[in-house]
Every structure is written in structure tokens, then in C-alpha cells.
Structure 1
Amino acid sequence: MKSIGVQRDNRKFILSLLFVGYMVSYMDRLVMNLAVVPIGQELHLSPTATGTVISVFFLAYTIMQIPAGWLTDRFGYRRVIIFSVFLWSLFTVSTGFAWSFTALIVIRFLFGIMEGGYPAASAKAIAEFFPKKERVKAQSILMSSNSFGGLITGLIVPVLLIWLGWRNVFFALGAAGVIIGVLFLKYIRSPIQSEEAKEQQSVNKNSMLSLLKTRQTWALLLTWFSISIASWGTVSWLPMYMVTVRHLDLVSTGMLGLLPTTAATLGTVAGGWLLVRFSGREKMYFVMNGLFYTAFLFLALFAPNVGMVFTYLALASIFYGFVFSAVYALPHKLFDKSVIGSAIGIMSLGSMLGGFIAPIMMGAFISALKGSYDGAFWFLIAAGLSSALFGLTLRNSNHVSHRGVDDSIKSNAGAK
């Protein structure tokens, strides 16, 4: 009994460490959405250039998702996590030294490559440390770190940007990342190489192909891709919109932004619990949440005053949190842990591809319409609606053979 208690305490500690790492990584990427206001003024960036600065991170992050999932399943989560944390922190610090638009693009691209390994590796760690019945809950808690990172960013970063300047903010965040990396180096240990683990490594070469052949993978990927366009587009351009069109100052924008971020946190935490209640009815879960999210997003983007903008965004964010949590938790239910790194890599691919497309497309719409945001907003609404439509393609878990992917992998391996 004592060993079980110690094991559970160790799981909690590992989950806490993964949580903090994810939170810092989210802050590192999110701070650009606020810092781009003073950066744009200093470097004289156009709306299209501003969108490009935000989008280039997502492009790099997207490119890294499939390789990161494979590398995690092949070589283990510890190596990928430590490598990722230290190098993304290096490029966070480097952002503070950016002297031109071109330098900023190169640094943010490399930063995105290095951050790209963390989602798959952290999910793999969850699969290794937690029994299957606890993984959905643990993954939901882990993903709520993003919302907590957003809360902290909105609360302190606007003030720090004014007080310290944007360069020093990136220096401070990079230093925090290095500290997290040291903790991972000290406390995260590779799993014991049992015969089962060795067998899993021998078949992981085929895991990505097998996952991509399943309907569930594509349904989740396209649903997440669509709602990510709407979400990242809103998050990326909201500070600029509130400052230039609604005439709020940066600090007020950051403080009011805590409302939807708090709502997303609650939605993400509740999402794992709610998904369990919808077991066997996952299609309804994704369609319903996608429709509610889109309806409130529409009301927010065309609200008559600032208060209503953030009120409706908060309501939309609850349903986004439900989807966010479920997209990363459901693979733990559908797939074996031997392929979970690849599965989460694919899900992150959808999110980051949406994050790449949205800011740069919105910048193009805004420039084409002479500073009007209406075209960009309709683009986001269409993406949100598409997420509900793609949710219709999902098969409920009571109609899914959970051994399908594993059998396909082993079959491929045996054929070699």
C-alpha cells in the first residue's frame, strides 16, 4: 500500500512538472501577440508583416509535429522534452535581440521548431506514468496549462512590456525556460526498458502510417484544425484590434483578455470530465460544442461595445475549452500508448496549421479591405462552423475497434 501511495505522489509530481513546462511554452508563444504592438511600432511593420511574424512560429511548429511524434515514440519522451525545452528557451532569449523583420522571422521560425516536440513528448509521458483509466483526466489537466499560461500572460505581460520593454520580457521568459529544463533534466527519468517496451519500439516505425489510415484520426485532425483557425486568429489579432480600432490601451486589453482566458481554463479542466459523460456519443459532443463556439464567436466579433466583446468571447472560450481538452484526451482512449506520441503529434499538427493560416490570412484581409476587420472576422466564423461539420465525420467510441490501429501496426511490422 505504501508503494502505491509513493507511486501516485510521483505521478502527481511528474504531471505538475509537465504542467509548468507546458504553461511556460504557451507563455513564450503567446507573448508575441501582445509584444507585436511595440515591436511593430519599433520595426515599422505593416499588417501583413505583423501577421507573418505571428504565423511563422505556427509554420515551424506545424512542420515539427509529425517528426516529433515519431521521434517520441521511437526514442522516448525524456530526450525529446529536454532537447525541446532548452532550445526553445535559447530562441526565446534570441527574440529579444531581433534587430529587423528578417531576423525576427528567422528566430521565431527556429523557436517554433524547438517548441514543436513538447506536445507529443508530454503526452507520451502521461501514457507511461498513468494507467489507461487515468490518462484522459491527466491529459485534460495537462492541457489546462495552456489556459493558465494565458491567464498569467494577460495579467503580467502588458505591464512588463511597458515597465521593462519587449526585449527584456523575452529575456526573462527564456531564463524561466532554462530553469524548467534543469528540473526536467534532474527529475524526469526514462521508462524501464521492459520486453513490452522493446517490442513497442520495434513497431513504431509504422505507427504514423497506421494512424493516418483511420477515420477517427482524420475526423479529430480536421475538427481541431478548423476550430484552431478561429481561435488562433482571434487570439493573435485581438490585441491589435482592440488597440487600433476600439482604442483601448495595451494594459486594459490584456486585463480584459483574462475573461475569455479564464473561461477557456474552466472549459479545458471540465472537458475531460465531460468527455467521460459523453462516452459513446463523442460525435454529438464535438458538433454541439463547435456550434455553440461559433455562435458566441459571431456575437463577440460584431458586438456593439467592448464589454460585450469580452463577454461573448468568454462564453465562446468555454466551448473551445471543451473541444481543446477532448481532442488531446480522446486519443488516450482510442489508441494504445505505443502510438500516443504520434497521435498527439497529428492533433497538434492540426492546431498549428490552423495557427499558421489564421494570422497571415487575417493580415491579408485587413490590408485588402483598407484596415477593416470585417472580412477577417467572417473568415474566422466560417472556420468555426467548419469544425462542427467535421465533427459529424467522427465515429462514436462504441462503434470503434480499439485494437484496429495496434493490429495494423503489428501487421505492418510482421510484413517487413
Structure 2
Amino acid sequence: MGLANTETRMSFRRGWIALFLFCLSMINYMDRIALSIAAKPIAQEFHLTSIGMGYLFSSFVWTYTLFLLPMGFLTDRFGTKKMAGLGIAVWSAATALTGAASSFAGLMLARLVMGAGESSSNPVGAKVIRQWIPASERGVVNAMFNSGSYAGPAICSVMLGSLVALFGWRISFVVAGAIGFVWLAAWLLFFNTPERVRWLSTDEREKILRERDAKPAGIDHQATESGGLLALMRSPTIWGLAITQGCNVYTQYLFLTWLPSYLQTTRHITIAHTGVLAAVPYAASVVLCIIVGRLSDRYLKTSGVGTGRRRNAVALAMITGATILAVPFISDLPWLLLVFSITLAGIASTTSLNFALLNDLLPNSRDIAKAMAFLVVGGNVFGMIAPIATGYVIHATGSYNWAFGIAGLLLLVGAIVVLTMTRSPMTRDQKRSQAEVAA
């Protein structure tokens, strides 16, 4: 009873870390969607077809994916404070300089540099959560971190849509880039590991250090020793998580890059109004994603996070996201926005739950940044294909219908993969573990 009362009175200053991560992800995705909001005037100014825009939309993912694994190793080696600061400084500067581009090559170069900088965010976020957050709270904090990637487009769609309509597309990139430097100043001033920060109470520090590592069920000490990325890659589980992420991220990038153009082209909505309408499903997904994350923590409260049962919630979220298959059959705008909201809530929840599942099934915290980098690489291999494939589909068919159909089918495939390939924890030698996790 005394312990319960103590924990009830305990401060929740680690909530500031969740806010930091939410804002990091939000700014990351604000900068990504800035190009989508300004796509129509940019295409007109540089005489780009849908195929050309598809390659431009996809370009930042190329360097983002290329640098993910190095960023994972660097984050494990040099720590989250340095790597997050370096990453956001690079990508914010590149975003701001996009507004100065005078050619298609200049736009491509800025996007490539931006992608390289943004590759730091997910390895950093995963490691910060492992350092700071008790295992029983990882679902909701991962949801907050991931929901920033939907809050960013929601805010950016409204704010930058108005800026583009009033002042032209170039100023929108300068504003988006400047926001990142505000976050950087706060990060350098306040952040460190829980062992080092002075603003954390003794009780809360002890709780974090005591509860942040939950060993997967049935795994002995030797199996949890760090074996590096190659050892992790021998595990079917990490491949299952990466494929699941890819099937999900395909739809995320379809929305991120082509949703504003879809609304402008097929629904004949102005740029300013496009921003407001595109913000609706993104805003709804933020709230729903956090609720789902909290429910997943409650779902695992009795059985424990180490059982891997969070995979069931991942599969359910992906099936929910497959609602996108209904888009070609809807003509009324309110119903269309409802379907978009449900789809985005499903894919947002899938990402946060999949990130949490990675932490649940990874015994050694020293491997978390590189493991997260591998998972996000898998996601972004699909992600870099989505904008280009969509451009070709639109060019070939004159319609977005097949683009939505492909996305929905991939979500159903992902649900099957996560249920069948993530049934054991990731160890140095997964075959040694006889702890098959209950469904």
C-alpha cells in the first residue's frame, strides 16, 4: 500500500522526454510534407509531370534509407544528445535552403541532404525511449513519438498551405526549417540521460532505471548478450518486423506525398483549402494513435510486454488501415475524409505498436538503435517506391484508384507477416530459445 501511494505521488517529469520526441517527429514530418503542399506551383514553375514529381517526392527517402544503419551505429556509439542535435541541424538547414532552389537539380539536392539528416530521428527516438521509459509505458510513449509524424502534416498542411497561397511556395520552406532550430536549442539545454539530468527526482530516477529493461519471456542471460546487427539479422523476427513496417510505410508515404495533389486534382480544391482538409485525417490519427498505444499497454499489463503479444494489436491496426480500399468507391467528401482518418489512424497505430514490439522482443538495450535503424530501412525501401509507383500509376491510368488499391493490399499482407514471423524474441542464436511466445 505504501509503495502504491509513493508511486502515485511520484512526479512524471519523464513526460517532458515524451514531449521532446513528439516535437522531434512533428518537425521531421512538417519538413517532409512541405513539398507536397507546394507541389502544384513547383510543378508549374519547373514544368514537371506526375512522374517527375514522383521522383522528387521520393528523393529524400533515398538518402534517408542509405544513412539509417550508419546513424543507428553512431547513435549507439556517441549517444542521443549529439546525434539528434546534428541530425535536426542538418535537415532544418536543408529544408530552409529548399526555398532558394532555382532548378530541379537544386530541389533534388536539398531533399537529398534533408533525408540524410532526418535518418537520425528514429534511431534516436528508439534509444531515448529505451533509456528513459519504463517497459510498461513504452506503448503509449512510442505512440506519442509516432503521432508527431501525423501532427506535423496536420499543422503544416494548414500553416504552410496558407503561406503558399499568400506569399508563394519559397517562404514556406524557410519557415518550416526555422522551427527545427528552436527545438535544437531546447534539446541542447535540457536533455541528457536519466542518470545525468538534475531536474529528475530521486524516486523517479530509480523507477526508470529499475523498470526500463524487461527481459523477453524464457530468455537466459547468455542469449541476451549484444551480438551486433549481423547476429540480429539471423533472427526471422527482425525481418518480420521490417517487412511489416514496409507494408505499412507504403501507405504512409502515399498519403504524405500525393494526398494534397489528389484533393487538388480530383476534387478541385484550392491550395489553401487543401491544407485544411488534409489536416483533418492527420489530426484525428494523432488522438487515436495515442489512445491505441495506451490500450496496448493495458492489454499487456497482466501477461507482460516480454510475451510479444503486442503483435496482435499490430495486425488489428493494419487491418483497420486497409479501409483505404474503399476510397475508389466514395464520391462524397465528408465520407472520404472519414475513410482517410480511419486509414491514417490505423497506419499511425501500426508504426507506434511495431516500434514498441521491437523493444518488447529485443533483450539487449545496447542493440536498440541499430535494430530500429534496420526496421526503418525495411519500411523506407517500400516508402521510396510509393511516390514513384504512384506517379507511374496516375500517368498510366489517369486515376488514383489503383494507387489506393495497392496500398490496401499491402496492409493486409503486413498483418499476416507480423502474426507469423514475430513469434520469438531476438537473441544471439534464436534457435536456442524454445520460448515460443503465446499468441
**Equivalents in 2 of 1:311, 1:301: separation in Å?**
14
> CA, structure 1 residues 271+339, in 2 after alignment: closer, same or farther (shift >3 Å)?
farther
Letter in 2 for 1:36: A
2:405 maps to 1:378:
yes
Deviation string, structure 1 residues 221-264 (Cα, Å, up to 9, x no partner): 11110121123113311211221122111222221222211231
> CA, structure 1 residues 69+110, in 2 after alignment: closer, same or farther (shift >3 Å)?
same
Deviation at 1:190, TM superposition (A): 5.4
Unaligned runs of 5+ in 2: 197-224, 301-306, 432-439
**What is the TM-score normalised by the length of structure 1?**
0.86
Of residues 407, 411, 415 in structure 2, which corresponds to 1:388? 415
Contact 2:34-2:156 within 8 A present in 1 as well: yes
Q: Corresponding residue for 1:225?
A: 246
**Equivalents in 2 of 1:98, 1:81: separation in Å?**
26
**Equivalents in 2 of 1:341, 1:164: separation in Å?**
41
Letter in 2 for 1:308: W
Of residues 316-325 and 160-169 in structure 1, the stretch that sits farther from structure 2 once superposed is 316-325
1:235-274 correspondence to structure 2 within 5 Å: 235-274=256-295
Contact 2:73-2:369 within 8 A present in 1 as well: yes
Q: Which secondary structure state, in structure 1, belongs to the residue aligned with residue 38 of structure 2?
A: helix
Q: Which secondary structure state, in structure 1, belongs to the residue aligned with residue 126 of structure 2?
A: helix
Question: Which one has the bigger helix percentage?
Answer: 1
Q: Which secondary structure state, in structure 1, belongs to the residue aligned with residue 421 of structure 2?
A: coil
**Equivalents in 1 of 2:88, 2:8: separation in Å?**
30
Deviation at 1:168, TM superposition (A): 0.8
Q: Percent identity?
A: 27
Contact 2:127-2:369 within 8 A present in 1 as well: yes
2:255 maps to 1:234:
yes
**Equivalents in 2 of 1:227, 1:114: separation in Å?**
22
Contact 2:123-2:369 within 8 A present in 1 as well: yes
Unaligned runs of 5+ in 1: 194-202, 409-416
2:97 maps to 1:94:
yes
**Equivalents in 2 of 1:319, 1:343: separation in Å?**
23
Deviation at 1:131, TM superposition (A): 3.0
Letter in 1 for 2:163: L
Contact 1:282-1:394 within 8 A present in 2 as well: no
**Equivalents in 2 of 1:302, 1:405: separation in Å?**
48
Contact 2:327-2:401 within 8 A present in 1 as well: no
Of residues 340-349 and 168-177 in structure 1, the stretch that sits farther from structure 2 once superposed is 340-349
Q: Corresponding residue for 2:386?
A: 358
**Equivalents in 2 of 1:401, 1:112: separation in Å?**
31
1:55-204 correspondence to structure 2 within 5 Å: 55-189=58-192
Contact 1:155-1:254 within 8 A present in 2 as well: yes
> CA, structure 1 residues 367+143, in 2 after alignment: closer, same or farther (shift >3 Å)?
same
Deviation string, structure 1 residues 332-389 (Cα, Å, up to 9, x no partner): 22223211111221222233222211001111122223x3323333322332222223
Contact 1:267-1:320 within 8 A present in 2 as well: no
Contact 1:70-1:208 within 8 A present in 2 as well: no
Of residues 10-19 and 349-358 in structure 1, the stretch that sits farther from structure 2 once superposed is 10-19
**Equivalents in 2 of 1:284, 1:131: separation in Å?**
21
Length, aligned pairs only: 391
Letter in 2 for 1:311: L
> CA, structure 1 residues 36+220, in 2 after alignment: closer, same or farther (shift >3 Å)?
same
2:330 maps to 1:303:
yes
**Equivalents in 1 of 2:284, 2:428: separation in Å?**
35
2:234 maps to 1:213:
yes
2:364 maps to 1:318:
no
Deviation at 1:4, TM superposition (A): 9.1
> CA, structure 1 residues 297+82, in 2 after alignment: closer, same or farther (shift >3 Å)?
same
Q: Which secondary structure state, in structure 1, belongs to the residue aligned with residue 100 of structure 2?
A: coil
**Equivalents in 1 of 2:141, 2:11: separation in Å?**
12
**Equivalents in 2 of 1:406, 1:270: separation in Å?**
36
Contact 2:90-2:113 within 8 A present in 1 as well: no
Q: Corresponding residue for 1:368?
A: 396
**Equivalents in 2 of 1:172, 1:76: separation in Å?**
29
**Equivalents in 2 of 1:160, 1:68: separation in Å?**
33
Letter in 2 for 1:333: D
> CA, structure 1 residues 358+103, in 2 after alignment: closer, same or farther (shift >3 Å)?
same
Q: Which secondary structure state, in structure 2, belongs to the residue aligned with residue 372 of structure 1?
A: coil
Contact 1:21-1:180 within 8 A present in 2 as well: yes
Deviation at 1:395, TM superposition (A): 3.5
**Equivalents in 2 of 1:165, 1:72: separation in Å?**
38
> CA, structure 1 residues 42+313, in 2 after alignment: closer, same or farther (shift >3 Å)?
same
Deviation at 1:151, TM superposition (A): 1.9
Contact 1:243-1:249 within 8 A present in 2 as well: yes
